[in-house]
Amino acid sequence: MSIAVSRDMQWMATGSMTREAGTAIWSLPRRMLLLRISPYYSSTVAFTPDSQALMRAWDTMNAWSVPAGQRIWEFMPVYGGVVDVGVSGSSVTWFVALGPTGQWFATNWGSGVKVGSTIDNSFDLTLAARRPYAAAAFSPDGKTLATSGPALWSLPDGQRIWPAATPAPSNGDNSALDNWVAFSPDGTYILVSDFAPTGPWVTDDKSYTTVSKLYRASDGALVRDFGTSLSRRPAFSPDGSWIVAGRAVFPLLSGPPVYLSPTPGDGVSAFAPDGTIAFGGSDGIVRLFCPQ
């Protein structure tokens, strides 16, 4: 489902929705599995900026020390003595995004996004993204947050910067949305990917479609329309000149892709800080590719 590399290049994490795979933490220099946080499924994994902890999301959010794998933080809102696992259109916490300092996190919440503090586990803002399973990403300077729609919000006041009009509500399939949002490393661009299953079950890259577009962060202007050519959860290279999506690497503004090989057809990818590409395949194998 997801893959992440720590900022210090020491750790890699993979998140799966199967009990056997669970959530795994790997030593990247040694190319070996350290531990599995099992039976925790993970729809999203993300390392804290200091590379000392891994945050994971699915039904709840928690953080685990690296490399010991001890749970050090957990959040699930409780109201009136009842655990609240979702509100109006979203049954589980699917995404978690971390701010550049690690103090703030964002997660999908009903048809919107909530922004909270990792210090006291409290929610401070609710953003009306009006999208089920709304993805979120913090800008590199931490002053804005992008959400599915797309929309850009100022922090910490939560005011919408663009679009000028309130986004129309989305009535997408709430059972299998894997939307995605990413900022370019310099904060100039926002990449938005809208996900939709083509059948009752998402099993491989033939059972869903994604529509991805590149926007200018300053005003929301469309820069490039990738159509359905990008796989799910695309990511920027460290220098911002490439976008990786599954097994394909695209030049940022124009040009055909370069394909990673060998790989199975379906998978999710991430760039490491040194440009190495980590590809997590549907066959359960993680492959590393040289950026050259």
Ranges of each domain in the chain: 41-66+73-289
Indicate if the pLDDT at residue 81 is higher than 50.
no
pLDDT digits (tens, 9 = 90+) for 90-127: 457 889 999 999 889 999 888 889 998 887 767 778 89
pLDDT digits (tens, 9 = 90+) for 174-206: 555 789 999 999 999 999 999 887 776 666 667
High-pLDDT (> 90) share of the chain, %: 54
Fold of 41-66+73-289: Methylamine Dehydrogenase; Chain H (2.130.10)
224-to-18, 87, 190, 216, 232 alpha-carbon distances in Å: 35, 34, 11, 9, 17
Q: How confident is the model at residue 18 (pLDDT cuts 50, 70, 90)?
A: confident
Q: Two tokens at 9?
A: 């290049």
